[in-house]
Amino acid sequence: MAAVSDSKSPPIPAAGDVSQLLVAWRRGSDDALEELTPLVYGELRRLAQYYMNGERHRDDLQATALVHEAFLRLVHLKLDWKDRQHFFAMAGRLMRRVLVELARKRDADKRGGGEQPVTLAGLELSLEAPQDVLGLDEALKTLQKLDGRKVQVVELRCFAGLTIEETAAVLEISHATVERDFKMAKAWLVRELGLA
């Protein structure tokens, strides 16, 4: 959270106009999406690595904080709210991938990075070891086969940090449905991860 105004934050790399791409994407340009994805992904990854390596020490790595930070770096605030939502919809999935990749790397190379736990918004979980992140990913893959929308809700809520209302808008379902989906998904994940 404080990272936004921190002067020691890393410089923004290619400040490619993410906002423009988001607008184009919404207008149906698949090319825009293809260009956009690596930009957002790269930024998320860079930020995650940055915090993981402990250059700026925090108690834990908060996925949503990273997404928000990436958002503030990449996107103009004047952007239409619908386009913002698209950004977060994409960022949630990407964030999950980033975390899984980092966890694999940390798992393989024990020296790689500190041992910060990863915190996911709305899920009462703190994922201490790389295996925890990988376990969660596996559980989400299983859930994907049973009810894909639940996974989308989890990605939006937990990885991108969207509120229930925002999640409902992105997925174009009702507020109550988001709540129910999320409650079910949470219980299911907690049980699968053996935390109950």
Minimum gap (Å) between residue 47 Cβ and other proteins: 15
- Describe the strand order of the beta sheet including 126-127 as a list of residue ranges: 61-62, 118-119, 126-127
Minimum gap (Å) between residue 120 Cβ and other proteins: 6
Which residues share a beta bridge with 127? 118
Read out DSSP for 158-184?
A: IIS---HHHHHHHHT--HHHHHHHHHH
d(CA 98, CA 127): 14
Minimum gap (Å) between residue 185 Cβ and other proteins: 10
- Token pair for 158: 């937990």
* Closer residue to other proteins, CB minimum distance, 36 or 178: 178
d(CA 40, CA 162): 17
Minimum gap (Å) between residue 60 Cβ and other proteins: 8
* Closer residue to other proteins, CB minimum distance, 114 or 148: 148
* Closer residue to other proteins, CB minimum distance, 141 or 175: 175
Residues contributing to the site for other proteins (CB under 8 A): 1, 62-65, 68, 71-72, 77, 81, 84-85, 88, 119-126, 145-147, 161-166, 175-176, 179-180, 183-184, 186-188, 190-191, 195-196
* Closer residue to other proteins, CB minimum distance, 112 or 173: 173
Helix 130-146 vs helix 175-192: crossing angle, to nearest 10: 130
* Closer residue to other proteins, CB minimum distance, 22 or 164: 164
Minimum gap (Å) between residue 109 Cβ and other proteins: 26
Interacting residues of 102 by C-beta distance below 8 A, sequence separation 6+:
45, 48, 49, 52, 113, 130, 133
